[in-house]
Structure 1
Amino acid sequence: MKDQIWIGKVILIAVCVSVSACLQVFPDLFIYWRPSLLAEFWRLWTAHWVHVGWMHFFLNMLAFACLPFIFPHARNWHLCVLLLLLPPFISLIFYFYLPYIEAYAGLSGVLHGLYTAVGLVYLQYPKERKFAILVLLLIATKLVWENTFGQTGTAQLIGSPVLTEAHLIGAIGGVLCGLSYLLFRRVERTD
């Protein structure tokens, strides 16, 4: 059974990395492009799977691939639900509340949401609680740093500006998803 879970995680990672790599071939068709976002609704999701370059792709895929192994209790279906909810959440916040964002590409906002949501859910596991707190504190510290001092190192590495708003919005989405899951589980246990 345990082997099947690990194989499932590897398959999920392989599928996501493959889809993202395929989108890299024609990135202009898939990025967040505000003028055509609502007419080309797929961009709500695909914008977060296409990247500004291969180094950007590699860094985001590496962070994504680590998640299921850092948090082994995270089920594939939980991750899939988050991967369906977080991209349009971030894209729609951009569209309705941050109209100055014309274009965006990258998974980093979704990654912040994934790690935040899973970290919150991991607080319920006594043996993993300290690690979950550490991850959440690191994310919070990173967000404060980025929104206070900016982000230059990563921008130089990937060759493009980093949209720190995506990180913050993704983390907020992760908090909402994580807390919703915990609330749902609590209600489910009382029934």
Structure 2
Amino acid sequence: MSIISYALPQVSSILIYDRVAIFKGEIWRLFTSHLVHFTTLHLFYNLIAFGVAGWIIEYRGYQHFALLCLLMAFFIGVFLMVMKPDMIYYGGLSGLASGSIYYLALFGLRESQPWRLMCIVTLFFVPIKILLEIDMSQSILAHSGHFTLMPLSHIIGCLVALFLFFAIKFNENRKRIFFNHEPPIH
């Protein structure tokens, strides 16, 4: 859908986060804006990061990736509405990519080495990357082109991933205690 949106500007104009349109009732834009990209490099880097993270999540059988994507899309849009009232337009998968990478790394903590070590390093460096981008006002991995980087979307994506991961873990412990009378896993 991101490629179609990029290739067809009339589709992008219907999907993009447009603050005025959202306040007029076009709520779907909170979800669909992540499919819109402003440059070829913006599209390329976001699709690679999101695609690879999503593929590994699915390949390893980590749970609830579709739910994660829906939650990230919604909460990123809502938080941008609240915390960036001067921002009129927004697009891109980078918030969902950041959250997906973080979610992948959280689940990887349950795995054996060397995958577990890679996930620990990822959990350490993703926040550092975001903080550097906030400080520098530009992406450290990709040139942002003719638009403004929005690290808030990366933060919200990672926070949603963290909350969903802990909700899953809590639910697993609750089921284990209730059905098997086993002590919780810490």
Q: TM-score band, normalised by the shorter chain?
A: 0.7 to 0.9
Q: Distance in 1 between matches of 2:151 and 2:54?
A: 24
Q: Are 1:177 and 2:164 matched, yes or no?
A: yes
- Deviation of 1:65 after TM superposition, in Å, equals 1.9
TM-fit CA distance, 1:178: 1.8
The residue that corresponds to 1:113 in the other structure is 99
User: Is 1:116–1:178's contact at 8 Å kept on the other side of the alignment?
Assistant: no
Deviations 1:103-150 (A, max 9, x none): 100000111111112211221223332121111112011012112222
The percent identity for this pair of structures is 26
Structure 1 length-normalised TM: 0.80
Q: Which runs of 5+ in 2 are unaligned?
A: 179-186
Superposition deviation, residue 21 in structure 1: 1.6
Q: Is 1:63 aligned to 2:49, yes or no?
A: yes
Aligned partners of 2:17 and 2:88 also within 8 Å: yes
When the two structures are aligned, how many residues end up with a matched partner?
A: 172
Task: Report deviation, 1:153.
Answer: 5.6
- Unaligned regions of 5+ residues in structure 1, if any? 1-18
Alpha-carbon distance in 1 for matches of 2:152, 2:54: 25
SS of 2:70's equivalent in the other structure is: helix
For the 8 Å contact 2:132–2:140, the answer to whether it is kept is no
Given that 2:138 and 2:144 are in contact with CA atoms closer than 8 Å, whether structure 1 keeps it comes out as: no
SS of the aligned residue for 2:74 comes to helix
Q: Please point out which of 111, 122, 128 is paired with 1:141.
A: 128
Q: Structure 1 CA distance, aligned partners of 2:108 and 2:92?
A: 26
Give the TM-score, by structure 2 length: 0.82
Question: How far 1:69 moved relative to its partner?
Answer: 4.7
Of stretches 117-126 and 134-143 in structure 1, the one that deviates more from structure 2 is 117-126
- Comparing both structures, which one devotes a greater share of its residues to helix? 1
SS of 1:62 mapped into structure 2: helix
- 1:41-52 maps to which residues of 2 (within 5 A)? 41-52=27-38
What secondary structure does 1:101 align onto? coil
Q: Tell me what 2:182 maps to.
A: none
- Which 4+ residue blocks in structure 1 deviate beyond 6 angstroms? none
Residue 21 of structure 1 corresponds to which residue in structure 2? 3
Task: Tell me which structure has the larger Cα radius of gyration.
Answer: 2
Question: 1:190 matched to which residue of 2?
Answer: 177
On the 8 A contact 1:35/1:102 being kept in 2, the answer is yes
Query: Could you tell which deviates more after superposition, 99-108 or 176-185?
Result: 176-185
Give the 3-state SS of the residue equivalent to 1:41 in structure 2: coil
